[in-house]
A = this chain, B = another copy of it.
Amino acid sequence: MDLKGFGMDAVDDADKLPETAINEVTSFFESAPPLTDAAETEICLKEFVDRNTSLSGINGKANRVVCVTSGGTTVPLEKQCVRYIDNFASGHRGAASTEYFLKAGYSVIFLYRRGGCQPFCSLLPDDPLLECFTVADDSIIEMDPLHAETVKKAITETRAAVADGILLKLPFTTIFEYLQILQLISASLRGLGPSAIFYLAAAVSDFYVPWESMALHKIQSASGPLDMRLAQVPKMLSVLRNEWAPMAFYISFKLETDKDILLAKADMALKKYKMHMVIANELSTRKEEVIVVTEQEKVTVRRDSTQAGAEVECPLVELVVDRHSAYIKKVDA
């Protein structure tokens, strides 16, 4: 069993000392607005993980649970929030990946941005209710035949996954909610050791306004420009990786618009946060291909363009599952 680099060992120059990081995280949480429904979320998570660890291994994937995060976090600029900074992210990557993880026999905790893309719904039009249905004269609702299969699939598969207890959907909006729920999830998955994956596809804010220094009321637009100072969000990934669930398999994502710095940053994230895989996305081509960066290799994963509707998440999740299986074997050896 090789645990080199998994624990609290020496950090490279680019790293802050773990203790500083832990202090920053502690003070971030202490100053955050309390999470509503924290107790209910904890119970849901416990039940979900208990049920899934007792499953007798569909597809030989017993105990395997992946936490897929999806969509962008917001940063409120006022306590009674009128204005906020948002990150562009449709949530498509996380939603589509959730489908492929479920197909591969994993249970999925889907931590998603409220209103963002949902699994099994990627082929639906923007406003499915208004676009897929018509009301006939006898006031019976009819489905547009063009969308019939897509709609059926969306409804049936979502319901089945939730009913089977293999999909747990947890919504967030702000950076505070996201990190608080992620901490709860990590606590519930810690006991699974290497069987758990964190697949961190959400676009998490780098900067935020600390809650205690935030304006209570709406910022007034007096004359002149507005100067804002935003603090850096503490590097929660280090703490999650090293402290909260140190045996899990970690995949993070880098999105950049400039290809030149993309791979350099992916490499840096791999080392700095000791990720097992970093998925490098370029904004303009991210639906066609991604580059999977590991310690050993850089693999370009492309969608199967010969097949209509084929998504890059299909071969991507296949690769992740393959590497995860190898990781479990290695740790258990």
Q: Which residues of chain B have C-beta atoms less than 8 A from A218's C-beta?
A: 255-258
Q: Is A228 an interface residue (CB 8 A)?
A: yes
Contact call A151/B139, Cβ cutoff below 8 A: no
Q: Which residues of chain B have C-beta atoms less than 8 A from A118's C-beta?
A: 127, 130
Q: Is A6 an interface residue (CB 8 A)?
A: no
Q: Which residues of chain B have C-beta atoms less than 8 A from A225's C-beta?
A: 207, 229-232
**Per-residue CB proximity of A121-164 to B under 8 Å, as 1/0?**
10010111110111100010101000010011011101100000
Q: Which residues of chain B have C-beta atoms less than 8 A from A207's C-beta?
A: 221, 225-226
Q: How many residues of A contact B (CB 8 A)?
A: 61
Q: Given the known inter-chain contacts A85-B84, A115-B115, A118-B130, please indicate yes or no for A221 contacting B232, CB distance below 8 A.
A: yes
* Binding stretch for chain B, among A73-81, A302-310, A319-327: A73-81
Q: Which residues of chain B have C-beta atoms less than 8 A from A82's C-beta?
A: 87-88, 203, 255, 257, 283
Which positions 200-238 of chain A face chain B at CB distance < 8 Å? Answer: 203, 206-207, 216-218, 220-221, 223-232
Which positions 24-46 of chain A face chain B at CB distance < 8 Å? Answer: none
Q: Given the known inter-chain contacts A133-B155, A155-B133, A218-B256, please indicate yes or no for A232 contacting B223, CB distance below 8 A.
A: yes
Q: Which residues of chain B have C-beta atoms less than 8 A from A74's C-beta?
A: 86
Task: Tell me, rounded to whole Å, the shortest Cβ–Cβ distance linking A87 to chain B.
Answer: 6
Cα–Cα distance between A87 and B74 once the two chains are bound (Å): 11
Q: Is A83 an interface residue (CB 8 A)?
A: yes
Q: Which residues of chain B have C-beta atoms less than 8 A from A129's C-beta?
A: 121, 124, 128-129, 132, 151, 154-155
Q: Which residues of chain B have C-beta atoms less than 8 A from A155's C-beta?
A: 129-130, 133-135, 141
Q: Which of B86, B135, B156 is the one whose CB lies under 8 Å from A86?
A: B86
Q: Which residues of chain B have C-beta atoms less than 8 A from A121's C-beta?
A: 129-130
Task: Tell me, rounded to whole Å, the shortest Cβ–Cβ distance linking A99 to chain B.
Answer: 14
Contact call A152/B139, Cβ cutoff below 8 A: yes
Contact call B86/A84, Cβ cutoff below 8 A: yes
**Chain B, Cβ-Cβ closest to A142:** B141
Contact call A130/B154, Cβ cutoff below 8 A: yes
Q: Which residues of chain B have C-beta atoms less than 8 A from A228's C-beta?
A: 227-230
Q: Which residues of chain B have C-beta atoms less than 8 A from A133's C-beta?
A: 151, 155
**Chain B, Cβ-Cβ closest to A120:** B130
Cα–Cα distance between A223 and B118 once the two chains are bound (Å): 34
Q: Which of B80, B85, B156, B223 is the one whose CB lies under 8 Å from A135?
A: B156
**Per-residue CB proximity of A262-295 to B under 8 Å, as 1/0?**
0000000000000000000001100000000000
A-B contact pairs, 27 of them (CB 8 A): A77-B85, A82-B255, A82-B257, A83-B85, A83-B88, A84-B88, A85-B86, A115-B126, A128-B128, A129-B151, A129-B154, A129-B155, A130-B158, A134-B155, A134-B159, A135-B152, A135-B156, A135-B159, A139-B152, A141-B148, A206-B226, A207-B221, A218-B256, A221-B232, A224-B232, A225-B230, A225-B231
Cα–Cα distance between A134 and B158 once the two chains are bound (Å): 11
Contact call B141/A151, Cβ cutoff below 8 A: yes
Cα–Cα distance between A129 and B133 once the two chains are bound (Å): 10
Contact call A217/B135, Cβ cutoff below 8 A: no
Q: Which residues of chain B have C-beta atoms less than 8 A from A256's C-beta?
A: 217-218
Task: Tell me, rounded to whole Å, the shortest Cβ–Cβ distance linking A311 to chain B.
Answer: 20
